[in-house]
Chain A
């Protein structure tokens, strides 16, 4: 056992010292942060103010678009001011309009700004608040260059604007670029065959085009309502009607049946753990394969085998690499829990108390504490790891180079891919026939049972598949041990199937 421990320790230390390990540790939280923060950051910072010209030959629809843009801008400024208000108390008179308690009288870190009251009180100076810098507008109309002001033909106007799009001519703005031109042709309106011309060098940026299309469409519908004698305000009210549906779970206690975020978490969290399990098995098994092939191709194996038995070597390797996997998992789960605590301590206070985000960390922690999620994860990780790692280790012992190993890896990777494809379906019917059937296939038991564990699967499934998995893993490891012992010193071509079977029979 001492030798197995020494082999395990070396495997662990040598793998932990590699750049790949630290990259793996940091990559997962980094991806989480990037996936959440980068799109927001890009939306806020990376899109510059885009300047456009609006030419309305009808004299009717330009104001509609400008009104919509003004409304959008006012909303943008109002939201920015509300966010600013949550960050701390301000001197009079602004702070007067920040409510520091909610309806139940609970104090927040910041507060909710009564924007309407503040606007009324401050009038046109409503944005002049100490410390507040209004965000720059994402879209800003500029006047048509004077030499084009008299052009009456929309097509001609579009052609004459080309130098501004191409950069040969510049606008009197900071970047001088013309983003788009919206040209509303004469006679444009409901039933006309004319279309608004949207000239733009970047057709992938559809914000302005969508706004024009949406708002003008609304305007057309309103005028049509009026024409047929309907009040647009009534139509808007009718449109806003929603059919309320509340999801209730009969398995919950009376009064608490309403399905909320914690329930959704309970349903989907196992999927997250399945992904973790999959990534961990895949990552550490690769390490294992590399490690055996290194020892075999460098001929270190012979010296090792003069000091340790093949069984000790195999056990040490599995344990050492499993420890690497456990550290990786702990770091990933730790970073999630850390993020949850950070959220609780620093961010939640500035959220509205009824926001689902405010209770998310507590819900996540409660889920981990009160369900079998973590113990199940520990069990299925151990079993899944031993099962697949044993096979990877044996493949490594059969091959002299990674290239050779890849031939064997193909089928195994296909087997490993199946749980990934099934992941979205199992939580929808966790105790259905497909999930139950797959649970009894030991190769998939760790993934499928992990996915079912919070859905109260029958005890028969939990215990039965657990025992089957443990037995099957022991059997696979035993077979792997036999093959490993024979294959590890072999050089040249990998063995044929007949030879493998003979080794399994111990001959």
Chain B
């Protein structure tokens, strides 16, 4: 098997004149958690639907688990869509078992597996309840379990955390981590950067259907200069002379932001403050967050898309 579970090459999807996805290429290595990030309307769901073979790309090629179409390997793929719903009159276990059988499991094995998963993720008491009687969070959990009942090699989760309370978000993270521990590949889309930051090995950021970044979370962080935020009543202008400092901006209220050159150590700035001296009230040398990266990458575009 190729080390890439999923490969997109120059994939484009047009709806009349509107380019939902524009020449998108990406590669998801086996065994990793791959974040599919982008603002609303960026083309994430359309891309996922093309990956799954639900929609056909206008141009470009997609290879999933080595097959040219997901339909050929659908039994090895698990999918949780963005908009979640269940058959209201069916029981929790039977929904999970039904989707398991659609993915190739035998009836008895699917039923056994449904009860096993419900027990493992704290829904044992609701196994025989009709899904209409479940809370939103429970229903969503049942749907996630339905998407992984057949123990797929590749799991696609579209906005798996949306609508969940913090406790259930934790459970969802646990499910994703479990999948990775068992060597499964997970691709999940989100626009909540904290989840991506905690879970993802690699991310792709898309906006207006185009990939803006594809790589590790670390590489993404390096996309924007490292910053140090300090507070002082003194004038910190002498810091500008330091070789590690690229720029210095006043933020207001005695606060300053020091932009560092790539590969430099924030300790050099701290040392210079003591030597100069610049008397510090606070010194914050946190790494740039994925949120900062995301805002920098898609910033104004995202705003446009969300009001489109």
Partner pick for A294 among B83, B84, B87, CB 8 A cutoff: B87
Q: How far is the CB of A88 from chain B (nearest CB, A)?
A: 52
Query: How many B residues touch A, CB cutoff 8 Å?
Result: 28
Nearest CB in chain A to that of B53: its residue:
A306
Instruction: Select which of A300, A307, A308, A309 is within 8 A of B87 by beta carbon.
Output: A300
Q: Which residues of A contact B53 (CB under 8 A)?
A: 306
Nearest opposing residue in chain B for A298, CB measure: B85
From A17, A298, A309, A489, contact of B86 by CB (8 A): A298
Give, as a whole number of angstroms, the nearest-CB distance from A139 to chain B: 56
Q: Is B34 on the interface with A (CB-CB < 8 A)?
A: no
CB under 8 Å from chain A, chain B span 15-55 = 49, 52-55
Contacts of B74 in A (CB 8 A): 306-307
Check if A489 sits within 8 Å of B83, measured CB to CB.
no
Contact B81 A308 (CB under 8 A): no
Q: Give the 10 A-B residue pairs with the shortest CB-CB distance, closest first.
A: A298-B85, A299-B83, A307-B102, A302-B81, A299-B85, A306-B79, A306-B52, A305-B54, A300-B85, A6-B101
Mark contacts of B227-262 with chain A using CB atoms, 8 A cut-off: 1 yes-contact digit, 0 otherwise. Answer: 000000000000000000000000000000000000
A308 to B74, CA, bound (A): 8
Assess A306 versus B89: contact at CB under 8 Å? Given A3-B102, A10-B98, A489-B49.
Answer: no
Q: Which of A7, A299, A307, A489 contacts B103 (CB 8 A)?
A: A307
Residue numbers of B with Cβ under 8 A of A are: 49, 52-55, 70-71, 74, 77, 79-81, 83-90, 98-99, 101-103, 143, 146-147
- Nearest Cβ in chain A — how far from B160, in angstroms? 13
Which residues on the A side are within 8 Å of B90 (C-beta)?
14
Assembled-state Cα–Cα distance A137/B147 (Å): 74
- Which A residues form the contact surface with B (CB < 8 A)? 3, 6-7, 10, 14, 17-18, 294-295, 297-300, 302-309, 489
Choose from A3, A306, A489 the contact partner of B77 (Cβ within 8 Å).
A306
What distance in Å separates the Cβ of A138 from its nearest Cβ neighbour in chain B? 51
Of the listed residues B55, B77, B102, the one surrounded by the most CB atoms of chain A closer than 10 A to its CB is B102
What's the least CB distance linking A238 to chain B, in Å?
A: 72
A303 to B83, CA, bound (A): 10
Main SS of the interface on chain A? helix
Which listed residue, B71, B81, B85, touches A309 by the CB 8 Å rule?
B71
A294 to B49, CA, bound (A): 21
Least Cβ distance of A427 to chain B in Å?
Answer: 42
Nearest chain-A residue to B98 (Cβ)? A10
Report B143 CB to chain A, min CB distance, Å. Answer: 8
Residue A306 contacts which of B70, B83, B88, B143 (CB distance < 8 angstroms)? B70
The answer to whether B99 and A307 touch across the interface, beta carbons within 8 angstroms, is yes
How distant is the Cα of A7 from the Cα of B85 in the complex, in angstroms?
A: 17
23 contacts between A and B (CB under 8 A): A6-B102, A7-B102, A10-B98, A14-B87, A14-B90, A18-B89, A294-B88, A295-B87, A298-B86, A298-B87, A299-B81, A299-B85, A300-B86, A302-B79, A303-B79, A303-B143, A303-B147, A304-B102, A305-B52, A306-B70, A306-B74, A308-B102, A309-B71
Kindly identify which residue among A14, A18, A302 contacts B54, using a CB–CB cutoff of 8 Å. A302
Q: Closest approach, in angstroms, between the C-beta of B211 and any C-beta of chain A?
A: 23
Q: In the complex, A368→B71 CA distance in Å? A: 47
Instruction: Give, as a whole number of angstroms, the nearest-CB distance from A188 to chain B.
Output: 72
Nearest A residue to B54, CB-CB? A305
**Which of A18, A294, A295, A302: most chain B CB closer than 10 A?**
A302
- Whether B54 contacts A298 by the Cβ 8 Å rule is no
Tell whether, in the assembled complex, residue A303 and residue B54 are in contact, meaning their CB atoms are under 8 Å apart.
Answer: no
CA distance A381 to B74 in the complex (A): 35
Please, how many angstroms separate the alpha-carbon atoms of A10 and B90 in the complex? Answer: 10
Asked if residues B99 and A303 are in contact (CB atoms below 8 Å), the reply is yes
Q: Which residue of A lies closest to B70 (CB)?
A: A306
